[in-house]
Amino acid sequence: MIREIIGYGLIYIGIAFDFFGVLGLVRLPDIYNRLQAATKSVTFGTGGILLGIFILQGFNNFGFKAILGIIFIFLTSPTAAHAISHAAHRSNIKLDEKTVVDQYAEDNENKE
């Protein structure tokens, strides 16, 4: 009984944070901010869903696959975000008008 409450609670929380992350993908101004909000929230939300499924299922085949999924997401999702942001900055996509400082572009100009 208590196991079902904790498991379904984790699934509810995960879906709520998934929704917040996608809302951030729509509302925030430029690509770097969108990448931040979406990567953090969607990774945490899907991790929460898989952890809830592990608690509901226990130590069987399904639960172990859910654990593998958590490890996999937490390793790959930040790596993909890093690759996309690096590529976007290299291909001269402008930052938003609200941006205060850009030390990466300053250093690249000094090098060339």
Partner 1 sequence: MKIFRWILGIIILSILAYFNFFVYEGEIIFKLINVILFASLFVLYRVIFGPSAADRIVSIDIFGVLIIGLLAIIGLFYDESFYMDIALIWGLMSFIASLAFAKILERRHLDD
Partner 2 sequence: MSLKNRSRMAVFFLSLLVWFMLTDITDLQEVILGTIVAIFVSLVAGHFLITTEKRHHIFRRIGYSLLYIVKFTWEIIKANVHVAYLVVHPKVPINPGIVKIKTKLTKESAMTILANSITLTPGTLTVDINPEKQELYIHCIDVHSKKIEDNTKDIGNRFEKILMEIFE
Q: Which residues bind partner 1 (CB under 8 A)?
A: 11-12, 14-15, 18-19, 21-23, 25-26, 31, 34-35, 38-39, 42-43, 45-46, 49-50, 53, 56-57, 60-62, 65-66, 68-69, 72-73, 76-77, 79-81, 83-84, 86-88, 90-91, 93
Cβ pair 34, 24 in contact under 8 A: yes
Three-state SS at 60: coil
**From the list partner 1, partner 2, none, which binds 34 (C-beta under 5 to 8 Å, kind-based)?**
partner 1
Question: Any contact of residue 93 with partner 2 (CB under 8 A)?
Answer: no
CA-to-CA dists, residue 22 to 74, 88, 102, angstroms? 18, 20, 26
Going residue by residue from 5 to 34, which x/- string records binding to partner 2, judged by CB under 8 A? ------------x--xx-xx--xxxx-xx-
Q: Which of 48, 47, 49 is nearest to 74 (CA)?
A: 47
Give the whole-angstrom CA distance, residue 11 versus residue 2: 14
